[in-house]
Chains A and B, each alone.
Chain A
Amino acid sequence: MKDQLIIGGQSVTSRLFLGTGKFSSHVIIPEVIRAAGAQVITVAVRRFDPDNPRENIVNHIPDGCILMPNTSGARTAEEAIRIARLARAAGCGNWIKIEVISDAKYLLPDNMETIKATEVLAAEGFVVLPYMSPDLMAAKKLAQAGAAAVMPLGAPIGSNRGLKTKELIRVLIEEISVPIIVDAGIGRPSEAAEAMEMGAAAVLVNTAVATAGDPVAMAQAFGLAVSAGRRAYLAEPEDRKRYASASSPLTGFLYGDSMKSEG
Chain B
Amino acid sequence: MKLTVNGKEAEAIDGMTVEALIKERRLDGACIVVEYNNRILKRDEWETVVLKPQDILEIISFVGGG
| Chain A residues with a Cβ under 8 A of chain B | 19-23, 26, 29, 42-50, 53-59, 67, 69-70, 72, 85-87, 89-92, 157-158, 184, 204, 206-207
Q: Does B60 contact A (CB under 8 A)?
A: yes
- The verdict on A206 contacting B30 (CB below 8 Å), with A46-B60, A47-B60, A86-B40 known, is no
| Chain B residues with a Cβ under 8 A of chain A | 5-7, 25-28, 30-33, 35, 40-43, 58-66
Bound Cα distance A47, B25 (Å) = 14
Asked if residues A85 and B62 are in contact (CB atoms below 8 Å), the reply is: no
Write out the residue numbers on chain B whose beta carbons fall within 8 Å of the beta carbon of A53.
26-27
Asked if residues A43 and B63 are in contact (CB atoms below 8 Å), the reply is: yes
Asked if residues B66 and A42 are in contact (CB atoms below 8 Å), the reply is: yes
A-B contact count (CB 8 A): 104
The residue that A20 contacts in the complex, of B27, B60, B64, with Cβ under 8 A, is B64
Asked if residues A67 and B66 are in contact (CB atoms below 8 Å), the reply is: no
Bound Cα distance A58, B31 (Å) = 7
Write out the residue numbers on chain B whose beta carbons fall within 8 Å of the beta carbon of A50.
5-6, 25
Write out the residue numbers on chain A whose beta carbons fall within 8 Å of the beta carbon of B5.
50
Shortest CB distance B29–A (Å) = 8
16 further contact pairs, Cβ within 8 A, besides A21-B65, A45-B65: A19-B65, A20-B64, A20-B65, A22-B64, A23-B64, A45-B63, A46-B62, A47-B6, A50-B6, A56-B31, A56-B62, A57-B62, A57-B64, A67-B31, A85-B40, A90-B31
12 inter-chain pairs at a CB distance below 8 angstroms, sorted by A residue, are A20-B66, A29-B64, A44-B66, A45-B60, A46-B63, A53-B27, A56-B30, A58-B61, A67-B62, A72-B66, A87-B33, A90-B61
